[in-house]
Amino acid sequence: MFPRETIQAGPVTLRPPVEADIPAVVRACSDPLTQRFITTLPSPYTAEHAHIWLTEVAEARWGAGGAEFVVADPGTGELNGMLGLHLPDRFGNVEVGYWVAPWARDKGVATAALRALATWAFEHGVPRLHLVAEMENVGSQKVALAAGFRHEGLRRGAGPLPGGGRADMAMFGRLPGDSGEPIRPFLPFLPPGGLTDGVVTLTMLTGDDAPAYQAVASLPDVVKYRVPPEAPPFEETLYRCAGAGYRWLVGVQAEMAIRDAVTGAFAGDIQLSHLTPPMREAMVGYSLHSDFRGRGLVTRAVELLAEWAFTQTSMRRLISGTNPGNLASQAVLERAGFTRGQTVKEYLPGPDGTWTDNVEWLRLR
């Protein structure tokens, strides 16, 4: 069993919960974001629920070999969150769980607490720590990486969703021999408000963009040059948009909406895919709704993206590819400073099992 003790961790203190924490637990567990990602919480969450958690759930966890800590302000003792170690599995591995109160978010509280708890757990013989976070819970995933937990994959349908259904869960793990240093994503997230030149704005895709994304992806002249050349089912589009933050964070793909900077309307999409950190290279792709064509929005979007990639990241090569017949896309790349390269024969999937050539394009830092 773990010793029931207080852990001093710089900007936070980890201590066992007490009766005086109940009002703050009720406030925090009534928060919509907390409720959204901790699907086992009752709603509405009452003082009775908090009392049962304190006197039964937390006590049972301590007694059975787990741990349950309040993340407290070291000066005032105010509750800023919760952090716990679940019971070891049959191999001795231990899962970590945590939440942060809405009044303490974006202050590094969870990262400091998780780092301290990991050190403490390893000192007490835990051979491996892991945590899971719903694919859409990017905030929790950022905490995991900042605390030195490595991304280990996505567990399909591993967690419940509010109202029914199942969600994919991202897995992160840390071993005693790991450095514990923060793991920085290959690409940083965009600044607040996205990238803009006053005419076009680029923002990360979200689940709310799915209907507009689907409308663009279903246009016949967009489908013609998609890979593969078919419109995606809406379920696939929704999954893609909702999971964009996760894929960006773990270095799979950076997907953005192209928006009219004045109205905020969704005009199209642009992405960096095939991210290759050792080569510091990525592939640019894009599409635009017919209602927004003829205004140079895609060229502006590509230029914005390239400027950001070459000044705010370690990227040194941007590549792209076009069907030989897609003259409009080729013109965009030329205007955005890309150089035409070789034509690769029968590289892209075409309709009805055919294959088409691919014209390669390159822009260097």
Please give the pLDDT value at position 162: 83
> Could you read off the pLDDT of 138-153 as tens digits, one per residue?
999 999 999 999 999 9
Spatial neighbors of 273 by CB under 8 A, at least 6 apart, are 253, 254, 282, 283, 285
Which whole number is the average pLDDT over 99-104?
A: 97
**4: phi then psi, degrees, rounded to nearest 5:** -85, 95
- CA dist 14 and 121 (Å) reads 13
Closest CA to 36 of 195, 185, 170, 161: 161
Asked if the model's pLDDT at residue 52 lies above 90, the reply is yes
Pick the CATH number of 7-174 from 3.30.1330.60, 3.40.50.720, 3.40.1170.60, 3.40.630.30: 3.40.630.30
Q: Residue ranges of the domains in the chain? A: 7-174, 195-364
Tell me the pLDDT tens digit for each residue of 304-323: 999 999 999 999 999 999 99
**Which residue from 191, 180, 136 is spatially nearest to 159, judged by alpha carbons?**
136
Mean pLDDT value across residues 111-128 = 97
- Same fold for the pair 7-174 and 195-364: yes
pLDDT tens track for 313-354? 999 999 999 999 999 999 999 999 999 999 999 999 998 899
Identify the residue whose tokens are 């999937």: 349
Task: Look at residue 1 and tell me whether its pLDDT is greater than 90.
Answer: no
pTM (whole model) above 0.85: yes
Q: Tell me, what DSSP letter sits at residue 190?
A: P
Q: What is the pLDDT of residues 227-236, one digit of tens each?
A: 999 999 999 9
SS3 160: strand
| Mean per-residue pLDDT over the chain, rounded | 96
Q: What is the DSSP string of 221-283?
A: HHHTTSSSSSPPPHHHHHHHHHTHHHHHHTTS-EEEEEEETTT--EEEEEEEEEEETTTTEEE
Give the pLDDT band (50/70/90) at residue 218: very high
The predicted model gives 27-45 an average pLDDT of 94
Give the strand pairing for 281-288 and 317-322.
Answer: parallel
pLDDT at 164 over 90: no
Helix (H) or strand (E) holding 170: strand 166-174
Q: For a pLDDT cut of 90, what percent of the chain falls above it? A: 97
pLDDT of amino acid 183: 96
For the stretch 228-285, pLDDT in tens is 999 999 999 999 999 999 999 999 999 999 999 999 999 999 999 999 999 999 999 9
Query: Which is it for strands 254-260 and 266-276: parallel, antiparallel or unpaired?
Result: antiparallel
Summarised one tens digit per residue, pLDDT across range 189-208 is: 999 999 999 999 999 999 99
- pLDDT of residue 38 exceeding 90: yes
- 195-364 belongs to which homologous superfamily? Gcn5-related N-acetyltransferase (GNAT) (3.40.630.30)
**Average pLDDT, stretch 58-70?**
95
- In 3-state terms, what secondary structure has residue 316? coil
What is the rounded distance in angstroms from the CA atom of residue 7 to the CA atom of residue 9? Answer: 6
Nearest alpha carbon to residue 81 among 173, 159, 12, 148: 12
